[in-house]
């Protein structure tokens, strides 16, 4: 696992599973920036949207067969990855999310500089014995990560309090503020939009339980769930007629711009991308008080934009209150846009990751990671 003698440019291997949603977006943002900076970039993943888009960007893409969750196939997944590492010979491995972090660290075992980015801790997503096993692994596996990259200080604090002794770095999530821009598409009635994978983590079931009370206070309000996922059928069974299931969309900006309010009622996160995207589009957001949420909001907005997770009553009251106060929504949207521009631009994120790479590669100079082209174009 060493640099090619004929090409001195460092080679970065991004290892990812899952291959959609926020994880894919982060990998693609970094890939775009790193290719522009002159690095050689390989993305290893089980196909899907991530592989397709990374190939379009000009990265080398390697197929790595792996299920989303740990299981009986883990040994073969690690074996395949070990073989792939021998072929790619990366200078640095950047593993994204729990499954890639598990298999990647088992395959590399610290032999080359390794970054692990949890994108929310695995032990928060499960319960009982499974959570205990996940936590035990994270404590053990931290020795094989030269840096554990958290997307919020709250995510780092969760890891520390859980007994994960690691060399942490906090790099807040960023989004492309030149792609996500304000615009307004008027809707016929007050419109609430929730963007995210239809799964327990994102909490759409809590929002649906809150929705009848929202309708009682704001008759005629509409709710749109944008995204797909494993809980889609179950959510449709409990949704009233005023809820629209938009499915997965190629361009989410029209939904943000049409929204009077964007809501993400997550049960856990590291730092969600959807609220950042919505704020970049000038829309007010309402999020649950999970890891990264407070840090993603402008100072002073928590009182209006933050609710406890898993509480439909509190969520309903906050949604209705914001829908009934257009002046407050306009102010929140304006301040949110300015905050994201100054704090969560993807170019800042890419440069912070580049600095970590420089440290781990022994201070070898890298070209500027500034990238003015959008990965969405």
Contacts 24+ apart (CB under 8 A), 69-76: 69/99, 70/98, 70/99, 70/102, 74/102, 74/103
What are 340-354's pLDDT values in tens digits?
A: 999 999 999 999 999
Which pair of structure tokens corresponds to residue 135?
A: 């936590």
pLDDT of residue 348: 95
Better pLDDT: 50 or 8? 50
Q: Is 169 left (phi over 0), alpha (psi -120 to 50) or beta?
A: beta
Confidence of residue 367 (pLDDT cuts 50, 70, 90): very low
Whole-model pTM: value is: 0.90
pLDDT of residue 376: 57
Instruction: Please state, rounded to an integer, the average pLDDT across all residues of the chain.
Output: 92
What CA–CA distances, in Å, run from 142 to 9, 164, 301, 362?
Answer: 28, 7, 35, 21
Q: What is the distance, to the nearest Å, from the Cα of residue 177 to the centroid of all Cα atoms in its chain?
A: 16
Average pLDDT, integer, range 55-84: 91
Domains delineated in the chain: 11-174+345-360 (3.40.50.2000), 191-343 (3.40.50.2000)
Confidence of residue 331 (pLDDT cuts 50, 70, 90): very high
Average pLDDT, integer, range 311-331: 97
pLDDT of residue 217: 98
DSSP assignment of 279-325 equals HHTT--EEEESSTTHHHHSPTT-HHHHEE-TT-HHHHHHHHHHHHT-
Confidence of residue 6 (pLDDT cuts 50, 70, 90): low
């Amino acid at each position: 696992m060493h640099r090619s003698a004929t090409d001195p440019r460092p080679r970065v291997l991004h290892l990812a599973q899952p291959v959609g949603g926020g994880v894919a977006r982060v990998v693609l943002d970094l890939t775009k920036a790193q290719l522009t900076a002159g690095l050689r970039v390989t993305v290893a993943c089980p196909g899907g949207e991530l592989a397709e888009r990374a190939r379009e960007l000009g990265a080398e893409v390697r197929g790595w067969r792996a299920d989303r969750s740990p299981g009986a196939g883990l040994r073969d997944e690690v074996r395949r990855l070990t073989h792939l590492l021998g072929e790619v010979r990366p200078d640095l491995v950047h593993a994204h999310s729990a499954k890639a972090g598990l298999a990647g660290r088992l395959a590399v075992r610290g032999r080359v500089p390794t970054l692990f980015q949890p994108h929310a801790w695995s032990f928060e997503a499960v319960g009982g014995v499974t959570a205990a096993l996940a936590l035990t692994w994270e404590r053990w596996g931290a020795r094989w990560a030269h840096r554990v990259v958290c997307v919020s200080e709250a995510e780092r604090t969760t890891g520390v309090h859980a007994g994960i002794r690691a060399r942490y770095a906090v790099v807040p999530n960023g989004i492309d503020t030149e792609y996500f821009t304000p615009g307004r598409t008027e809707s016929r009635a007050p419109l609430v939009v929730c963007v995210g994978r239809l799964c327990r983590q994102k909490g759409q079931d809590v929002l649906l339980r809150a929705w009848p009370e929202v309708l009682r206070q704001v008759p005629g309000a509409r709710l749109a769930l944008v995204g797909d996922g494993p809980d889609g059928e179950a959510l449709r069974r409990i949704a009233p007629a005023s809820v629209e299931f938009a499915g997965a969309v190629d361009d989410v900006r029209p939904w943000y711009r049409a929204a009077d309010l964007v809501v993400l009622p997550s049960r856990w996160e590291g730092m969600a991308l959807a609220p950042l995207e919505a704020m970049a589009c000038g829309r007010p957001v309402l999020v649950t008080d999970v890891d990264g949420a407070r840090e993603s909001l402008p100072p002073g907005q928590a009182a209006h934009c933050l609710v406890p997770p898993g509480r439909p009553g509190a969520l309903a009251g906050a949604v209705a209150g914001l829908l009934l106060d257009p002046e407050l929504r306009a102010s929140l949207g304006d301040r949110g846009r300015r905050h994201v521009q100054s704090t969560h631009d993807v170019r800042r994120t890419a440069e912070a990751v580049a600095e970590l790479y420089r440290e781990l590669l022994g201070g070898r100079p890298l070209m500027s990671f500034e990238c003015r082209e959008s990965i969405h174009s």
